[in-house]
Chains A and B, each alone.
Chain A
Amino acid sequence: MGLIKKSLLKSLWVFHLPLSPCNNCDIEILDTLTPKYDLERFGIQLVGSIRHADILLVTGVPNYKNWQKLKYLYEQAPKPCFVVAVGTCACGRGVFKDSYNSPANVDEIAPVSAYIPGCPPKPEAIIDGIVKLINILKNAKK
């Protein structure tokens, strides 16, 4: 694996994108970034600007007010950028499938690379999902 391709997998910068969720998934994402699970040893850092991001962690159900913003933010992130749907709401809308206020799934608006179901998923599950994403990318780039 070339140095540049290896560098992408060893230094993934994460941007947190909540689409008005109930905030449980956001609390679990916050847990994952604390020193107890120590994601910095894999090179994963939380960044503040969308232009620095490699992974978009999307939580919540898109509704009529913010599905456009998800589309714009995905276009503003420099490629290669991977969208990861955290929580059942972002994976397939869960119990809100027939709700009056949700037009589409997240993967009908932006291409999702990994789904992490759970309500909310434990930090171990989130780490497992990111590791699976890294393995897929490792095999695909060969």
Chain B
Amino acid sequence: MLEVGLLNSLFLYLIFPGLFFSFILSILVGYIDRKLTARLQYREGPPLLQNLYDFFKLLNKEVILPENANVLFILSPFIGFASIILASTILWTAIFFKKGFVGDIIVLIYLLTIPSLMLILGASSSGNIIASIGVSREIKMLLSYELPFFTALLVPILQTKSFKLLDIIQNNVVSLANIISAIIVIISLQAKTGIVPFDAPEAETEIASGILIEYSGFLLGLIKLTKQILFSLIPAFVVSIFFFGDRNLILFIIKYLTILVLITIIRNTNPRLKINQTLKFFWYGMFPLSLISVILCVISK
């Protein structure tokens, strides 16, 4: 019995819907994102397997370790990668196989925070001054978008009165509080992945890729793959929690693509916000809005 359980979980974690499936999905999602960005700029874009070529090229490059770095520099990309694969497994298992456990939405929220934390730990242990500027920006952003994100997710939890992801997916409700929460969750997840307009920590050529400046070779490949898999999880998360994700597969794919196109269009039409503007946006804009949506939800029950 135990062996079957172990083999089953290994299959889920490594092949489908874990490592292998998330890898392939991230390449497809990356292709759609870059091609759409290119078309919005009146040009052709990269071919289908471009993210695959990027990843394999980075696997073959020399890894240079800074002199002042300690073992956290090497460990943190692996831990971030492992946690995002676990988050992806939990979410896709709930969507496809309809299995879950009580409290798994809280575990999911925790697991989605770990890549940012690991990036902070790894970059600050590299001993580079410019990386410390990126790290301070990333910490400020972490303090700003997590609160509205969690508060907005209280709305579906309160409406279904349970902490099980499966119950939330199967009992979606349409109301004003839900729509406001959906918007807040989409914007907070954009900040989590580090997409324009919220990518101040990883500003290329402003601070020479601040938080990623010392990473090279396959460590950089792991970090970029983590960000891409997180980017491919955003539409799945939003659609399954707010927009009736458990109807048939074709509708799910259409809603997934709609949210993906929406995020890409926002990415291409907005400039990068400065770090103090990002903080003000989340603290004075999104957080009161999320409180309003929770209050609306509690009142209307």
Residues of A within 8 A of B (CB): 3-4, 6-8, 10-11, 35-36, 38, 40-43, 46-49, 51-52, 54, 76, 78-80
- In the complex, are the beta carbons of B46 and A51 less than 8 A apart? no
Give, as a whole number of angstroms, the nearest-CB distance from A56 to chain B. Answer: 14
- In the complex, are the beta carbons of B38 and A48 less than 8 A apart? no
Residues of B within 8 A of A (CB): 34, 38, 41-47, 50, 52-57, 59-64, 203-209, 212-217, 220
Give A37's nearest chain B residue, CB to CB: B43
Give, as a whole number of angstroms, the nearest-CB distance from A134 to chain B. Answer: 13
Task: A11-B53, A49-B214, A79-B61 are known; give 11 further A-B pairs, CB within 8 A.
Answer: A8-B57, A8-B60, A11-B54, A35-B43, A41-B44, A47-B209, A48-B207, A51-B64, A51-B215, A78-B61, A80-B62
- In the complex, are the beta carbons of A51 and B214 less than 8 A apart? yes
Give, as a whole number of angstroms, the nearest-CB distance from B61 to chain A. Answer: 5
- In the complex, are the beta carbons of B209 and A48 less than 8 A apart? yes
- In the complex, are the beta carbons of B38 and A40 less than 8 A apart? yes
- In the complex, are the beta carbons of A7 and B212 less than 8 A apart? no
- In the complex, are the beta carbons of A79 and B62 less than 8 A apart? yes
By DSSP majority rule, is chain B's interface helix, strand, loop, or mixed?
A: loop
Across the interface, which residues of A come within 8 angstroms of B55, CB to CB? 7
Give B55's nearest chain A residue, CB to CB: A7
Cα of A79 to Cα of B215 in the assembled complex, Å: 14
- In the complex, are the beta carbons of B220 and A52 less than 8 A apart? yes
- In the complex, are the beta carbons of A10 and B53 less than 8 A apart? yes
Across the interface, which residues of B come within 8 angstroms of A54, CB to CB? 57, 61
- In the complex, are the beta carbons of B209 and A78 less than 8 A apart? no
Q: Which single member of A48, A78, A80 contacts B205 (CB below 8 Å)?
A: A48
Q: Which single member of B56, B64, B205 contacts A7 (CB below 8 Å)?
A: B56
Cα of A41 to Cα of B213 in the assembled complex, Å: 25
Across the interface, which residues of A come within 8 angstroms of B42, CB to CB? 35
| Residue of A38, A42, A49, A80 with highest tally of chain B CB at under 10 A | A49
* Known interface pairs A3-B56, A8-B57, A51-B213; A78-B62 also in contact (CB < 8 Å): yes
